[in-house]
Amino acid sequence: MDGVRGLMLDMYDFNNDVWLCHSFRGNCYNYTAFTPATNVLTEVRVFLEANPSEIITVIIEDYVRSPNGLTRAFNASGLMRFWFPVSRMPRNGQDWPTVDDMVQNNQRLVVFTSRASKESSERIAYQWRYMVENQYGDSGMRAGSCPNRSESPAMNTTTRSLVLMNYFPSTPSLTQSCRHNSAPLISMMNTCYEVAGRRWPNFIAVDYYRRSDGGGAPQAVDTANGQLVCGCANIASCRENMTFGACEVAGDIAPSGEFNNQTSLGQFDSRPIRFQWLIGVFLMAGMSL
């Protein structure tokens, strides 16, 4: 309930099941295994059941080779009834359905895999057909630079409608996380906005998301949401039926509690809130769980 609406999960075959594992060389070992994937996916299902207007995104770094392994894990966790079908995902940078549409159809779980073949074999969306992502780790934290990771299309590829921004070091550092998740995070978001063809990130991935020297990851999310939804520097400045970019001055800002995913509050500059405007701070499963 604290703003995290996305999970980046590394999944592997292990012990005749699908496990979360932060490993290497495509194999999971006893000392790199975390937990069976169904344990975490069941937590996602419980959250969706308890919060019927929320949408969750799961991005899988996929090392599962067993036939239909991911499908079995999602079936076992009871998540398939929330599945957003790949047939509804927009191609060539087109608009996503509205949040209202996804909620009303109970299609509130959006899942991506890093394996292209599984879009046809298991009907799980291939991440790089829909998304661009900058480099993770130390090389993705250089001020003034926002290169794409090697698997991703170039950041300014507008035929991919979603933008994921990473900002965390190669080796997690609790002591440095407050500094990383403060002004440098906002600065990198502004840099990536320019590099990505003047597009704000839809997802922001950090380590230790609760730590910062200021507003931190929540501030970055509020800023990106404000820019995406109504063209303002903070989501709190957005108002029902306002003209896009007609931002309120300080002291005359609508309370953030006025906003939800209902259609009546989803009209900004005559445009409904779309899923591509939904921001989530990603937890890094191999580092944060």
Per-residue pLDDT tens for 89-118?
Answer: 999 999 899 889 999 999 999 999 999 999
Give domain status of residue 263, yes or no.
no
Structural domain count of the chain: 1
Is the confidence at residue 249, as pLDDT, over 60?
no
Neighbouring CB atoms inside 10 A of 267's CB total 13
- What does the alpha-carbon distance between residue 177 and residue 105 come to, in Å, rounded to a whole number? 39
pLDDT recorded at residue 13: 97
* Chain centroid offset of residue 185 CA: 16
Instruction: Assess if residue 86 is contained within a domain.
Output: yes
Residue 153 in 3-state DSSP? coil
Domain assignment present for residue 110? The answer is yes
In which domain, by residue range, is 215 found? 1-233+274-289
Given this model, what pLDDT does residue 268 score? 26
Is residue 226 a contact partner of residue 270, using CB atoms and an 8 Å limit?
no
Distance, in Å, from the CA atom of 163 to the CA atom of 188, rounded to the nearest integer, reads 13
CA distance 2 to 210: 9
Cβ atoms 107, 85 nearer than 8 A: yes
Is residue 124, in this structure, part of any structural domain at all? yes
Distance CA 138, CA 121 (A): 35
Q: Are 83 and 47 in contact (CB under 8 A)?
A: no
Whether 262 maps to a domain, the answer reads: no
Residue 189 lies in a domain: yes
Identify the pLDDT of residue 265: 21
User: What is the rounded distance in angstroms from the CA atom of residue 134 to the CA atom of residue 120?
Assistant: 26
For strands 6-14 and 280-284, give the pairing: parallel
pLDDT on residue 1: 54
Calculate what percentage of the chain has a pLDDT beyond 70. Answer: 85
- Looking at residue 23, its pLDDT comes to 87
Please compute the mean of the pLDDT values over residues 56-65 and round it to a whole number: 96
Do the domain assignments include residue 176? yes
**Amino acid at the residue 20:** L
User: What CATH number should be reported for the domain holding residue 3?
Assistant: 3.20.20
In a domain, 240, yes or no: no
* Nearest CA among 152, 147, 72, 161 for reference residue 114: 152
Name the average pLDDT for the chain: 86
Neighbouring-strand partners of residue 110: 57
